[in-house]
Amino acid sequence: MPKESDFQLTESPVPRPAGGEILVRSRYLSVDPYIRGRLTGVTTYVKGIQPGELVGAGAVGEVVESNDPRFARGDIAEGMLGWQEYAVAPAKALRKFDPEGHPISAALYVLGMPGLTAYFGLLEICRPQPGETVVVSGAAGAVGSLVGQIAKIKRCRAIGVAGSDEKVDFLTKEMGFDSGFNYKTTTDYQAKLKELCPNGIDIYFDNVGGRVTDEVMRLIATRARIAVCGQISQYNATQPEMGPRWLGQLIVKQARMEGFLVFQFADRYEAALQQLSAWLRQGKIRYREDVVEGIENTPRAFIGMLEGRNLGKQLVKLA
Ligand SMILES: NC(=O)c1ccc[n+]([C@@H]2O[C@H](COP(=O)([O-])OP(=O)(O)OC[C@H]3O[C@@H](n4cnc5c(N)ncnc54)[C@H](OP(=O)(O)O)[C@@H]3O)[C@@H](O)[C@H]2O)c1
């Protein structure tokens, strides 16, 4: 688990943009689980961060200066601007965000990477059909709470697994999930899942891995689809955790398990964002942001998110 003392806040002059670049003053910084992987320094699908380097992360803010025709001063820009107050970046690497009545923080949540992850992970990898039972782990977080709501839009039953009673209440009372359970206080996951999913689990959207996943795998239905979105229970692990070997279930149930990265759907983002925006306007999708203020509180927010203290999308608001 990272510690606050692993991070350092430094000051430097505001940079000036060169040709093709823009200067952005960030309003919201994003705090995401994948950053934990980057902090190991190892490059996977994104470059690892070395000690002393800026923490690369999503952010959204206003264009202060532009040397590129794609952006004008005052436009809203979103992209990998990092945990910093001002950022210079190539205009072509950023998205111009038209809020269309939504708050600009939506660019980091429902109308950004987490929203797209929920959308493509559920609809493309799992292909939900009306009446199916969908189990979501990490359900009260940014991605998970959207997955359950999209499952409901597709007329499925949505069951959420989350780390506190407050989170389970939030899912069933505010986010429209049919049911859920607290994995920290429930001792017999198997009995609980059987009670909540008497006909088996048609779709499992996995954000966490570990023991929750081990128990879900024992109850998958014939032709189940499993989207491996995240494995947050393993992100601080220093060696592989051993567990039951359940791959045989994929044979017996003729099930499909598929890992994905949201970026693989990049050429279809535009249509997905239009749909997510319409669902937001129609009130079919609701969301909760967990906002801390001040760049100096970003490491604390990040560690809190890894510990499950966030409810909804963790963001940092800058002055
Ligand atoms: N594949 C992709 O392209 C893609 C894109 C975005 C995100 N992701 C993945 O999706 C998952 C959710 O991301 P997010 O941004 O929506 O974060 P999030 O769910 O808002 O925040 C992380 C949550 O993980 C839970 N958690 C932490 N440690 C856990 C553990 N040991 N066991 C079970 N749950 C634990 C905590 O909730 P509890 O209180 O419930 O424990 C915490 O609130 C992450 O695994 C992330 O890496 C994947």
Q: What is the pLDDT of residue 44?
A: 85
> What number does the ligand 1 atom closest to the CA of 232 have?
45
For 129-162, the pLDDT digits (tens) are 999 999 999 999 999 999 999 999 999 999 999 9
- Indicate the top mutation candidate among 109, 125, 137, 143 to test ligand 1's pocket, ranked by most ligand atoms within 8 A of CB: 143
Q: What is the pLDDT of residue 108?
A: 98
213 within 8 A of 142, measured Cβ to Cβ: no
**Cβ–ligand 1 contact at 142 (below 6 Å):** yes
> What number does the ligand 1 atom closest to the CA of 311 have?
43
For 19-69, the pLDDT digits (tens) are 999 999 999 999 999 999 999 988 888 889 999 999 999 999 999 999 999
> What number does the ligand 1 atom closest to the CA of 229 have?
1
CA distance 132 to 232: 26
Q: What is the pLDDT of residue 319?
A: 85
Give the Å distance between the CA of 15 and the centre of ligand 1: 34
Which amino acid residue places its CA nearest to atom 26 of ligand 1?
308
**Cβ–ligand 1 contact at 143 (below 6 Å):** yes
317 within 8 A of 28, measured Cβ to Cβ: yes
**Cβ–ligand 1 contact at 153 (below 6 Å):** no
Which among 92, 84, 79 has a CA at the least distance from the CA of 19?
A: 92
Average pLDDT of every residue of the chain: 97
For 94-124, the pLDDT digits (tens) are 999 998 899 999 999 999 999 999 999 999 9
Strands (E) across the chain are located at 21-30, 59-66, 76-79, 86-90, 95-96, 133-137, 157-162, 179-182, 201-206, 220-228, 256-259, 289-293, 313-317
Angle, helices 269-281 vs 113-120, to 10°: value is 100
- Indicate the top mutation candidate among 183, 207, 211 to test ligand 1's pocket, ranked by most ligand atoms within 8 A of CB: 207
Q: What is the pLDDT of residue 209?
A: 98
